[in-house]
Each structure stands twice: as C-alpha cells, then as structure tokens.
Structure 1
Amino acid sequence: MDLPVVVGVDGSEPSMRALDWAADEAARRGVPLRLVYASLWERYEGAQLAEDLGKPSGRLRAEDIVETAARRAHGRRPDLKISTEVLAEEPEYVLVRESRNASLLVTGTRGRGGIAEALLGSVSLTVAGHAHCPMIVVRGSHDNQTGSTTHGRVVVGIGAKPALSGALRFAFEEARRRGVQVEAVRAWRCPAHETTDHPLLAGEPARLHEQRAAEELEAALQDAPADVELHRRTVEGHTRTALVNASHDADLLVIGARRHQRHFGLQLGRVAHGVLHHSACPVAIVPEQA
C-alpha cells in the first residue's frame, strides 16, 4: 500500500501554497494526496450557536474549504488520487496522528504582517517537533514557485555523525525525483578560548577545525549514491546561519531531527528552530534515530 502525502489546509494562502507543493510531491512519488482540515469550532461552539449568531456553521465552512482545496489540487494534477477529511480536533494532534500513516506531511506557514510573516506558525512548529514521518514546511520567498526546480539543488545540513543519515537519504531521493544536484553543508567554528598556545593547535587552530569538518563531511558522504550529482561545502560560522544563507539559492533545505528515547516526539534544537523560522525556501524535517 502506498502511503499518501498528507497536507494540512485551512483556507489561508500559505496553506494553499502548501497544497500546491504537496500535490506536486504526491505526483512525483506516484502516491495519493490526502487533504486534512482540523478545527475545534464544531466541538466547542457547535452548529446551533453559529445559527443563533447568524454565522455559517464551522463544519460547513470547513467542508467548503476542503472542497475548494481538492478542486485546486485536481486542477493542478488531474491524474492524482485525492481524499479529504474534516475533523473537530486540534490541528496539531490531527497532523501528528496523520503522520503515522503518511509518506510525507506538508504544512504552510501562518503570519500576519511584518515580522509575523517571517516566523513559523505554532501549528507547524509543534507538528515539526512530533511528526513520525518526514515533514516539509513550505515557506520563504520561493512560495510562488512552489514545487519548481528554480535553483536546481537540494541543500542538506550535515552533522558530526559519520553515517548516511535519514536526512541525507531523503535529500538524495528528492534530488533524484527532481533531477537536480545535492549540496551537503557542514559548518565549523574555532572556539574563542582556543589560541595558538594550545599544544595541538599551535599556529593554525582555524585550519585544523576546517580540516576536521571536511573529514566529518567526507565520512558522512562515504556511502552517497553515484547517480546524483553531489557538492561538498564547509562553512565557517554557526550552522543555522550557514543553512539559512544556503537556502536563498536552494529549492529545498533538508535537516534531521533526532528522536531521543523516553522523550515525546523529536528534540528540535536551535539549528532546527532557526532554520524553520528564517529559511528562504521550503524546509524538510526528517526524523533521525538516536
């Protein structure tokens, strides 16, 4: 059974851009698309109260939104198999639950004006921290080119573990589907307390840190597939800054989120938070095992 691409919709423009991305992704993967709308209006307020206030029922409004979204997805990808669901629950809980039976979860961003537009909505941030499958948050200035390969590359952040991680595998798969290259980025820093007086770093502390980063990058990529063009890059500075800068010339930015035992969901660190809030392109969060 092919697991669907699941997308959360709520009628907002960011969610419609996420819908477009999800439709394109489902078509690339050859899997169904599942549209989910979740709201507590029907549970807490009810259709009777809506009628008393002379306002449309939350349920009717939700169904209209989902039907409109389904028509949009079908118009974009006529051959795509599409299913819909309207649920009277918190959207965070619904999307996390849906991620258990999805090949990919897609959400948009929410914000209203100024700084808010640059930041990630609470629903997407919460779901990113608990999803059971890879998740793409469609954000950034490239939203009007949803699903395109404008820059011809997928960027993936590389940590210190010398292994082909879930994030790396995901990046290679996405690049293969799009026919684009992968750029693997490993950031490094020379700690301020290290000086030329350090016995192991005498004279060249920065060079040795850069060399170590290059070696870690090479170790992580040792099992990289041969059928995808791969570029390696080491960058001095904070990892989140290096990845956000790289996102300006990327179609997709991929990072891993490590799952810890006895911890509910994923432990999103400062790098993931920074990238999710400030990336200039869509971001894929891929669960990693500790």
Structure 2
Amino acid sequence: MVIRCVVAGVDGSRASLKALDWAADEAVRRGVPLRLVHACPWERYERDVDDEGDPISIRAETRVLVAGALDRATRRRPEAVVSTEVLPEGAETALLGLAHDAPLLVVGSRGHGGFPGLLLGSVSLRVAARATYPVVVVPDVPLPDRPRGRVVLGVGDEAGAAVGFAVEEAGLRRAELHLVRGRHPDSHAAGAADAVPAGGSGGSAGAAGGLLIGAAGRDLPPGVTVHRHEATRRAAHALLEAGAEADLVVVGSVHRSGRTGLHLGPVSHALLHHAPCPVAVVPAD
C-alpha cells in the first residue's frame, strides 16, 4: 500500500491535538510529509471579505487555530515537513476528498466546531466507513509516553489490505506483531499463544507467519516477531483486551450499505468507540 503523506484533521479540540501528535510521529516514522487540514464550510463565504482588524471573524479564528496546530507539530517533530490547508467544506466532505493524495488520515475520536457532526459516531465513523484509504482514529485517553512495541492485527474475513498495513507498521516500529482471531464463546478453547521470528517456520505459528508473508506480498521486516492468538472470546472483546498493551490495533473493513448509508462492521465500530489505543481501519483492496 502506497502512502504519500500523513494527514491530521485538526479542529482545536483536545482529541484532535492528540491525533496531531500521533500523526507527526507517524509522518517522521514513514518519511513522508505531514499535512494539517482544517475544514471550515464558512470559509467559502468569507473568501472575499476583508476581515482585517476583526479579531472575532471566522477566518481570524481559523488562522489562530491552524497556526497553533502548525506550531505544535513543528515543536514536537522539528524534522518533519509540515504544511497546512483550510478547506471550505464540511469535515466529512473535505477529508474524503483527499483520496487522490494517497494519505494516511489521522483524526481524533471526538471534536468540536461551529457546525454539527463532530462527535464520535459522526465524522470519524463516517469517514472511516467510506474512505478508500487507511484511517487512524486516536482515542481521547491517556497514551503512554514510550512505545509498547506491539501492533495488533484483527484476523478475519475482512483482513485483506490490513495485513500489509500491519506488517509495515510493525516493521517501522520494530515491534511485535500480534495476530488476534476471535471465536464464538461456544467454540473449543485455544491453547497458549505461539510466536515465530520473521522468516521462521514450524507449527501453527509458522503457518501464521507464512500467511502474513503471502498476504503482504513481501518478506516480513527484519526483527518482527509474529504471535498468533486464537481467542475464546468474540473478536471485538479479544481485540479490545489486546489493545490495552498495544501501540496500534489494525482492522480491515468492507463497505456495507444500510438504510442510513455506508457503515462499519460491528468489530470496527466497537473498537472505535472503546479501544484504549489508536485504531487503524484499512479498507479492502
């Protein structure tokens, strides 16, 4: 999967600032530019309005917000190549319109703004459900100062491109990669988790490593160890539990249509509401 830039959706909320920090670290980790994007539908109406000397205009407030986000990003990661952009559209439309830039979008789980729809269950969920690129939602909870060295991948029918994304993230972080597959409570209990170094073989763990190599289309990065967990709990519960010790949980998604439009599956939905760490939703190829 080609990712040409990391985009942080900023709106000045506490959650979006946490997302901004995560995005700055990720941009440096990947060696790609960081774009700070603020959506302001009122901007289209103020383009030709002279707001000089009016400190309470929407445009003036936007300038302060974006400048603050830029300052925060450059202070956190001075080596990052950072740009800012104000889009004269609603948040969902603006973010989905970035698809041609091959981004990794990072948003907070909650937000605020001058128009409705910036709470969890709205913009973040709708964008994650409709995006054709990976979306990372950063929860508004305390995150550890130091990496935990673990990436969790939800293994299921929707894994698809999520496998390659999780492999890449584990390699960039030099982290363990944990494959978690949930089971119905009535299924027979699984044994202890298995592990295999990158390129290793043998037993069920070797099969898990081989699955990853094949699905990712390339060898596992050096130093990445794969762990397989067959959980007796449902997938959402198993991934939430695994996420408590992870830097990132990765799940795949397919677009489902319902009476209210596109939406996420129950596992992704549960994770985005309750995960104790950032969650990456990666659309199927």
Q: Above 0.5 in TM-score?
A: yes
Q: Which amino acid in the other structure matches residue 9 of structure 1?
A: V
> How big is the shift at 1:223?
3.5
**Which residue in 2 is equivalent to 1:11?**
12
**Which residue in 2 is equivalent to 1:59?**
59
Unaligned runs of 5+ in 1: 113-118, 192-205
Q: Go from structure 1 to structure 2 and tell me whether the alpha carbon gap of 1:218 and 1:286 turns closer, same or farther (over 3 Å shift).
A: farther
The SS at the match of 1:143 is coil
Q: Go from structure 1 to structure 2 and tell me whether the alpha carbon gap of 1:220 and 1:14 turns closer, same or farther (over 3 Å shift).
A: same
The CA deviation string for residues 68-93 of structure 1, in whole angstroms up to 9 with x for no partner, is 11111111111211111112210111
**Which residue in 1 is equivalent to 2:267?**
271
Is 1:159 aligned to 2:133, yes or no?
no
**Which residue in 2 is equivalent to 1:189?**
184
Q: Is the 8 A contact 1:107 1:138 kept in 2?
A: yes
The CA deviation string for residues 216-273 of structure 1, in whole angstroms up to 9 with x for no partner, is 9976642334431111101112211111111111111110012479xx9965111111
Q: Which amino acid in the other structure matches residue 102 of structure 1?
A: A
Q: Go from structure 1 to structure 2 and tell me whether the alpha carbon gap of 1:35 and 1:101 turns closer, same or farther (over 3 Å shift).
A: same
The CA deviation string for residues 18-58 of structure 1, in whole angstroms up to 9 with x for no partner, is 1111111000111101110002233468997x99xx87111
Is 1:130 aligned to 2:126, yes or no?
no
- State the percentage of identical aligned residues: 44
Report the Cα distance in structure 1 between the residues aligned to 2:166 and 2:3, rounded to whole angstroms. Answer: 20
Is 1:256 aligned to 2:252, yes or no?
yes
Paired residues in the alignment total 257
- The RMSD of aligned alpha carbons is 3.3
Report the Cα distance in structure 2 between the residues aligned to 1:178 and 1:220, rounded to whole angstroms. Answer: 20
Report the Cα distance in structure 2 between the residues aligned to 1:288 and 1:266, rounded to whole angstroms. Answer: 14
Q: Is the 8 A contact 1:257 1:287 kept in 2?
A: yes
Q: Is the 8 A contact 2:27 2:33 kept in 1?
A: yes
Q: Which amino acid in the other structure matches residue 155 of structure 1?
A: V
Report the Cα distance in structure 2 between the residues aligned to 1:140 and 1:234, rounded to whole angstroms. Answer: 29
The CA deviation string for residues 150-180 of structure 1, in whole angstroms up to 9 with x for no partner, is x22011100047xx73111111111111111
What TM-score comes out, normalization by structure 2 length? Answer: 0.79
Report the Cα distance in structure 2 between the residues aligned to 1:59 and 1:89, rounded to whole angstroms. Answer: 14
> How big is the shift at 1:141?
2.9
> Which protein is bigger by CA-based radius of gyration?
1
The CA deviation string for residues 88-133 of structure 1, in whole angstroms up to 9 with x for no partner, is 2101110111133133110012169xxxxxx835111111111121
**Which residue in 1 is equivalent to 2:277?**
281
Report the Cα distance in structure 2 between the residues aligned to 1:265 and 1:4, rounded to whole angstroms. Answer: 28
Q: Is the 8 A contact 2:6 2:32 kept in 1?
A: yes
The SS at the match of 1:236 is coil
Report the Cα distance in structure 1 between the residues aligned to 2:250 and 2:72, rounded to whole angstroms. Answer: 27
Is 1:168 aligned to 2:156, yes or no?
no
Q: Is the 8 A contact 1:154 1:252 kept in 2?
A: yes
**Which residue in 2 is equivalent to 1:77?**
77
Residue range with higher mean Cα deviation, 279-288 or 78-87 = 78-87
Report the Cα distance in structure 2 between the residues aligned to 1:47 and 1:137, rounded to whole angstroms. Answer: 35
Q: Which amino acid in the other structure matches residue 231 of structure 1?
A: H
**Which residue in 2 is equivalent to 1:115?**
none
Q: Is the 8 A contact 1:158 1:217 kept in 2?
A: no
What TM-score comes out, normalization by structure 1 length? Answer: 0.77
Q: Which amino acid in the other structure matches residue 56 of structure 1?
A: I
